[in-house]
């Protein structure tokens, strides 16, 4: 079968585990050259080696994408290896569950920097390459929290993910004339390491029984949706926020 992303270059942030790892793996299997980013260098290297063993072409870059200078270095390394970037998946994220009355300024700023500022910095750095290359695809990972309120996270998490949706819509409108499509994915409860660490098994079971589709989503299901948005199959879609939550939130 023809690979949907043959010859494309895809940068995925927060790719050492969970959704980011499966997104990178699937995009590689569909022919993309992969740039994987994360703060966890050891896990990132192991994830990249898995892709290589599967026949994919990949480099990995340890960087804090909430820091401008580290994003610049990451983009330099990516474009030195592959010349351009055609697809950007802003997946890096941080979950904190602190009640609003207990949130300190430092924690608020940290969540905003990782969940929102990183999207701004990475997108701003990549867009010139997409313009020069005649177009591109940007997929921002928001959350059902961004469309309602968070199940597990605090007010800062909900706020950051809602802001990602606003940024997605504005960029979609502003960049459409440059043939750059910008969309957001809004996962509900997905079976990731972060969810399992945050939520005890009995609480997960209670959530599952409350969903119309009575289970957690899988990282592969999220990756399949990202692949659709990264490919030409979604060429007439921009500014969208697509839910993947088992029917938990119906808007």
Burial (0-12, 13-18, 19+ Cβ within 10 Å), 211? middle
Q: Is 41 helix (H, G, I), strand (E, B) or coil?
A: helix
247, two tokens: 């029917």
Q: Which of 120, 157, 207, 236 is catalytic?
A: 157
Q: Give, rounded to a whole angstrom, the gap between the first and last alpha carbons of the chain.
A: 36
Of 2, 7, 44, 3, the C-alpha closest to 24 is 44
Residue 139's Cβ-side half-sphere holds a number of Cα atoms within 13 Å equal to 30
Q: Lay out the sheet containing 87-90: strands in order across.
A: 58-62, 33-38, 9-12, 87-90, 136-141, 180-187, 241-244
- 82 counts as catalytic: no
Helix axes 18-29, 41-53, angle to 10 degrees: 30
98, two tokens: 């602190």
Determine the distance from the C-alpha atom of residue 44 to the mean position of all C-alpha atoms in its chain, rounded to a whole number: 15
Give the active site residues: 157
């Amino acid at each position: 079968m023809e690979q949907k992303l043959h010859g494309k270059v895809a940068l995925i942030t927060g790719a050492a585990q969970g959704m980011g790892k499966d997104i990178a793996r699937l995009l590689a299997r569909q022919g993309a050259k992969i740039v994987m980013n994360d703060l966890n260098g050891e896990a990132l290297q192991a994830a990249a080696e898995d892709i290589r063993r599967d026949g994919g072409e990949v480099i990995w870059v340890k960087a804090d994408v909430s820091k401008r200078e580290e994003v610049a270095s990451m983009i330099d390394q990516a474009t030195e290896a592959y010349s351009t970037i055609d697809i950007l998946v802003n997946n890096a994220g941080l979950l904190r569950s602190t009640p609003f009355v207990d949130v300190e300024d430092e924690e608020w700023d940290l969540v905003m920097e990782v969940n929102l500022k990183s999207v701004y910095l990475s997108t701003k750095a990549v867009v010139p390459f997409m313009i020069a290359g005649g177009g591109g695809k940007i997929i921002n990972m928001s959350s059902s929290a961004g469309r309602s309120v968070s199940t597990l996270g605090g007010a800062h998490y909900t706020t950051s993910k809602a802001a990602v949706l606003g940024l997605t819509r504005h960029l979609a409108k502003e960049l459409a004339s440059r043939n750059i499509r910008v969309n957001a994915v809004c996962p509900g409860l997905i079976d990731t390491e972060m969810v399992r660490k945050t939520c005890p098994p009995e609480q997960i079971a209670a959530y599952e029984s409350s969903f119309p589709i009575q289970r957690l989503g899988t990282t592969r299901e999220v990756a399949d949706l990202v692949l659709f948005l990264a490919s030409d199959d979604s060429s007439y879609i921009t500014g969208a926020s697509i839910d993947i939550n088992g029917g938990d939130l119906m808007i």
